[in-house]
């Protein structure tokens, strides 16, 4: 498989999903759009999750392991994230 073919496959095989965010302290709510490489990249260990957008009032932080943590930007406490 040529590098160009691999690139196209990665571009066309992305997983996208939305998570519902809730602050346990102030009950602020919002959502975040995420996507992850699928197919060739995924099976070769690229399982990094990327952030498309996050609602106002929340912040997303990427951990060193590639996981995403959400927090309330008002209270600075971790937000509850639930996949919809
Ligand atoms: Zn809050």
CA of 53 to the centre of ligand 1 (A): 18
Domain ranges of the chain: 3-83
Q: Helix count (H) and strand count (E) of the chain?
A: 2, 6
Say how far apart CA 59 and CA 49 lie, in whole Å: 15
3-state secondary structure of 34: strand
Note the pLDDT tens digit of each residue in 3-26.
Answer: 555 555 555 567 899 999 999 999
State the distance from the centre of ligand 1 to the C-alpha of 84, rounded, in angstroms: 20
Task: Output DSSP code: residue 48.
Answer: -
Q: Write out pLDDT tens, residues 49-83.
A: 889 999 999 999 888 877 789 999 999 999 999 98
Ligand 1 center to 62 CA (angstroms): 19
Residues 6+ away with beta carbon under 8 Å from 27: none
- Please give the distance, rounded to the nearest whole angstrom, from the Cα atom of residue 80 to the centre of ligand 1: 10
Output the CA 37–ligand 1 centroid distance in Å. 31
């Amino acid at each position: 498989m040529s590098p160009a073919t691999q690139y196209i496959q990665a571009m066309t095989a992305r997983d996208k999903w939305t998570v519902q965010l809730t602050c346990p302290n102030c009950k602020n709510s919002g959502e975040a759009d995420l996507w992850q490489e699928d197919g060739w990249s995924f099976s070769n260990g690229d399982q990094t999750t990327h952030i498309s957008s996050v609602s106002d009032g929340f912040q997303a932080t990427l951990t060193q392991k590639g996981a995403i943590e959400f927090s309330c930007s008002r209270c600075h406490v971790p937000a509850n994230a639930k996949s919809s």
